[in-house]
Amino acid sequence: MSSRPVDRPLAGDDVWLPIREAREQVRNLTVGLAKMREQLPKTAANKKRFKQIEAKIAAIRKSTEFASNTVMVRAVEEASIHVVPDGPARNRIEFRHGKPRDLHIHIRGNPMRKGPLVPRRFLEVLTAGKLTPFRQGSGRRELARAMFTDGHPLVARVIVNRIWEQHFGQGLVRTPSNFGTQGQRPSHPGLLDDLSARFVAHNWSLKWLHREITASAAYRQSSRNRPDGQASDPDNRLLWRFTPRRLAIEPWRDAMLQVTGSLDQRLGGAAGNLGDDNYSRRTLYGKIDRKTLSVILKMHDFPDPGAHSARRKPTTTPVQQLFAMNSPFLFQRADRLATVIGVGNGKPLPSHIHDAYRILFQRQPGSDELALGERFLSGNPAADKRQRAARWSRYLHALLASNEFLFVD
């Protein structure tokens, strides 16, 4: 292994490299000081040595702005890993910056029992012709190039399958992270091959791929059920209709912000707190904490950010419905929607209901829906303005929390 993940600031090497070197020094001094305190007697001379090392650590921190508030991000740096002796009965891991290397096979997982040396290179099973070892640093760039040259038939299929899954809820291969013998076979192998070949021919354009899928007859099918299709293919593997599916938390939250005129569509910038009900940026810009995941994401099937997840596993729980019923975020969206449709501006009540259905569902209300809305909103004719506003808020809240707004069909 000739690279490792690290935290580094959003700054150039002229700023970062001295900080990194200082941190290494502090780490080594801190480890050494701990060992000295463990092994040496607590004499006056040794205590003086301890204080000198502590003072040196403090000086390094201060001289290099060690504790600066620079924004840190995850990055990858070139470094080789070594298992080195650490005393008569222990070993320790040591990283050496900027020194890539090939590794020996560790026999039975023991780094002290070295087998043949294996050069850095692409997967042999995906390589046509002679294997070429990687020579440029860690080999990350050569690996990326090999994926889109030697390995492009598989890589293209994986990408196409994942984009298909985004639009249809299920991929043509229903094990998106396993195209091997233990994964599922594609439901439409010819379609997967055709889309993958044309995807490569169009210079790997994701925009082209999205357009090709969404303009297809398969995507534009009705979701209406048919007895013959249900009898022969109940799982809809053959795509005889569009399978209704629930929106994930990100597009659902964004849709509520969009229809109420609250969505902040600025591009880029720092991540924000999704727990803040006033945060109006796209959910894409929500902060993901690996240790403490946002509650709104956790209750809506967001996968564990600390592990690989092939796909989300949708659940239906009472907590999700309680969120829809009681979240201040939905209360605020309902109040905002009342402002968008102009409640209280003198328009007739049916006109406001029509506007709400048009904005939320892109259709007009049925006669029963219209009558139900009028009956609920009319309420007590003697109600004051505040009471009428509260009744409108509850009505629009119910529409926002409805299945029709949550599901794509």
* Alpha-carbon span 149 to 145, nearest angstrom: 6
User: What value does the mean pLDDT take over residues 276-285?
Assistant: 91
Instruction: Decide if pLDDT at 208 tops 90.
Output: yes
* Alpha-carbon span 78 to 95, nearest angstrom: 10
What pLDDT is attached to residue 339?
92
Residue 70: band (very low, low, confident or very high) from pLDDT cuts 50, 70, 90: low
Region for 239 from its dihedrals, namely left if φ exceeds 0, alpha if ψ lies in -120 to 50, beta otherwise = left
Among the ranges 59-73, 112-126, 361-375, 381-395, which has the highest mean pLDDT value?
361-375
User: What value does the mean pLDDT take over residues 69-87?
Assistant: 77
Provide the sign of the torsion angle of the four alpha carbons 45, 49, 50, 51, taken in this order.
positive
Task: Say which range, 129-143, 256-270, 273-287, has the weakest mean pLDDT.
Answer: 129-143
Q: What is the DSSP string of 108-171?
A: GG-TTSEEEEE-----GGG--SS-----STTSHHHHHHHHTTTTHHHHHHHHHHHHHHHHHSS-
Task: Say which range, 18-22, 99-103, 236-240, has the weakest mean pLDDT.
Answer: 18-22
The secondary structure element, H or E, covering residue 59 is helix 44-63
